[in-house]
Amino acid sequence: MNPVQAPGPGQIPPDYPHSICMVLPTALRALGVKLPRPYAALDIPWLSGRISASGAGRKFDRLLFYFLDSLGLEACKKSGGLFARLLKSHGLALTSVFPSITSTALCSIYTGLPPARHGILGHKIYFDEIRTLVDVLKMEIPGVGRPLTSVRLPIKHWLRVPPLFDKTFLGNRRAVHISPHPIIHSGISDMIYPDHMRREGYDEYIEGLAKAEYYLRAGAGIVNFYQHGVDESTHKFGGESSQAMFSIRNIEQGVAWLAGHLPRAVQRRTLFALVSDHGQNVFQPGRILHFPYMEIERQKKTAGLVALGTSGRLGHVYSSAFPNPALEKWLALKCRGKATVVPRHTSWRLAGGAGPLPAHARRLGDYTLLLHAGVKLRVEFTPPKEEKYLRFSVANHGSLTADELNVPALFVPMDEIV
């Protein structure tokens, strides 16, 4: 049941019982991991039948959990390759979460819970604990660049629930995380992956796949693989562009290579589960919601603005008082025709919350700006500087359009990929 109606034109709400929160619990159940309430699994008849089938050769004892950043549902269908074929036979359409931004969606995927439960409610959001905006992906203050880990803040506690890779759930199962070297120890990686979970970095995609092959052959119970190639191409060229299709085909070739290089016995006992965090919404020319640095500073002095954060195509507005008529008037004029301004209780429900707002709900903002389709959000956190390089950016995510929210998920035995 959807928690709230879509608040703006062209927007849809997350469907949490059929969302990316459910993918990892479903995959872990296939391995025989027993999860307590409130964790729930998707009802997938073929997968349930495979789990209950007799014979050791038909049981899964290994999981390749493949996190493919920014693969939207329509892009997957349009690609027409391996993933599109598997989507018809072994896949389903799910929604992302709110906000539909990587930091929030990643935490929902790996905790199995809506954002309101795990507490990571955006990308660049305000934390009352330290009274400043924080870039949650990098765990640093926007515009400053100093990692928060260097000042020994208890950032692991900002994630309010343990990740499903914690020993509390996995017991003695061996788990390995594989991702590109630059992000293997990023701020949010240190938050979401337990200390006992081995991490392996890669430079080239094939290197990462070779490491996945090694650990699956060696009997690792869970290999978690992160791939960001589609995210790079869809941000720069659009989710259904020829460049995005090229990236998807390259990634599919890698998955097929990996499946084909595993021994038959390992293939049959390994479940391949693919999940994406969000899709992309393509900008329309000239449709920009711009908050210049000096205008933000002026509203801090005159209207009680505390901070303005962002989650891609979503704005988080923090006020010294709530409600704040002066701030509401400014936002209404600023966002007219470009974004829907919603109060904190509405955004809390969109994030999967219910009942009275707890203290951590403020991380969403006192007001949230839900950008309409095709609108780009530009917030200046520091005085603007001259751009030295040509930067491509034609699409983003974070808000509630179908392009951003609808994503595919796959549950496929590795022997049925080749």
Encode the chain (418 residues) as per-residue pLDDT tens digits. Answer: 344 666 778 899 999 999 999 999 999 999 999 999 889 999 888 887 665 443 344 589 999 999 999 999 999 999 999 999 999 999 999 999 999 999 999 999 999 999 999 999 999 999 998 899 999 998 888 877 666 765 566 677 899 999 999 999 999 999 999 999 999 988 899 899 999 999 999 999 999 999 999 999 999 999 999 999 999 999 999 999 999 999 999 999 999 999 999 999 999 999 999 999 999 999 999 999 999 999 999 999 999 999 999 999 999 999 999 999 999 999 999 999 999 999 999 999 999 999 999 999 999 999 999 999 999 999 999 888 766 555 568 999 999 999 999 999 999 999 999 8
Looking at residue 385, its amino acid is K
Angle (CA) 66-71-76 rounded to 5° is 105
pLDDT at 78: 96
pLDDT the model gives residue 225: 99
The pLDDT assigned to 418 comes to: 84
Amino acid 188 reads I
Q: What angle is formed at CA 105 by the lines to CA 103 and CA 110, rounded to 5 degrees?
A: 95
Closest CA to 312 of 116, 97, 21: 97
Q: Is this prediction's pTM over 0.85?
A: yes
User: What are the structural domains, with CATH classification, of the chain?
Assistant: 16-282+401-416 (3.40.720.10), 288-393 (3.30.1360)
Cβ–Cβ under 8 Å, residues 67 and 226: yes
Asked whether the beta carbons of 94 and 286 are under 8 A apart, the reply is: no
Is residue 188 within 8 Å of residue 137, measured between CB atoms?
yes
CB 109 within 8 A of CB 24: yes
Q: Residue 14 to residues 11, 35, 241, 327, 376: CA-CA distances in angstroms?
A: 10, 23, 25, 28, 21
**Dist. CA 278–CA 291, nearest whole Å:** 25
* Beta bridge partner(s), residue 343: 367
Strands (E), 53-104: 62-68, 91-95
Q: What is the pLDDT of residue 8?
A: 77
Q: Is 39 helix (H, G, I), strand (E, B) or coil?
A: coil
Q: Which of 361, 289, 279, 363 is nearest to 331 (CA)?
A: 289
Residue 145 confidence (pLDDT) = 67
Tell me how far apart the alpha carbons of residues 282 and 236 are, in angstroms, rounded to a whole number. 10
**How crowded is residue 393: how many other Cβ atoms within 10 Å of its Cβ?**
11
Q: How many CB atoms lie within 10 A of CB 256?
A: 14
Q: What is the pLDDT of residue 94?
A: 98
CA-nearest of 219, 175, 178 to 197 is 175
* pLDDT score recorded for residue 109: 99
List C-alpha distances in Å: 143 to 133, 134, 316, 383, 395: 10, 10, 17, 10, 23
Answer whether 17's CB lies under 8 Å from 384's CB: no
Contact 369, 317 (CB under 8 A): yes
Closest CA to 27 of 67, 56, 85: 67
DSSP state of 142: T
CB of 122 closer than 8 Å to CB of 314 = yes
- Measured in whole angstroms, the distance separating CA 83 from the mean position of its chain's CA atoms is 19
HEC secondary structure over 173-199 = CCEEEEEEHHHCCCHHHHHHCCCCCEE
User: For residues 104 and 311, is the Cβ–Cβ distance under 8 A?
Assistant: yes
Ranges assigned E (strand) in 106-258 = 124-127, 132-135, 175-180, 198-202, 222-227
Phi, psi (rounded to 5 degrees) for 196 = -80, -10
Residue for token pair 């709900």:
361
CA dist., res. 91 & res. 273, Å (int): 9
Q: Residue 161 and residue 153: Cα distance in Å, rounded?
A: 18
198-202 and 175-180 beta bridge pairing? parallel
Closest CA to 327 of 312, 307, 353, 309: 307
φ and ψ at residue 154, rounded to 5 degrees: -80, 60
| Contact residues for 356 (Cβ-Cβ < 8 A; gap 6+) | none
As given in the structure block, the two tokens for residue 311 are 């989650």
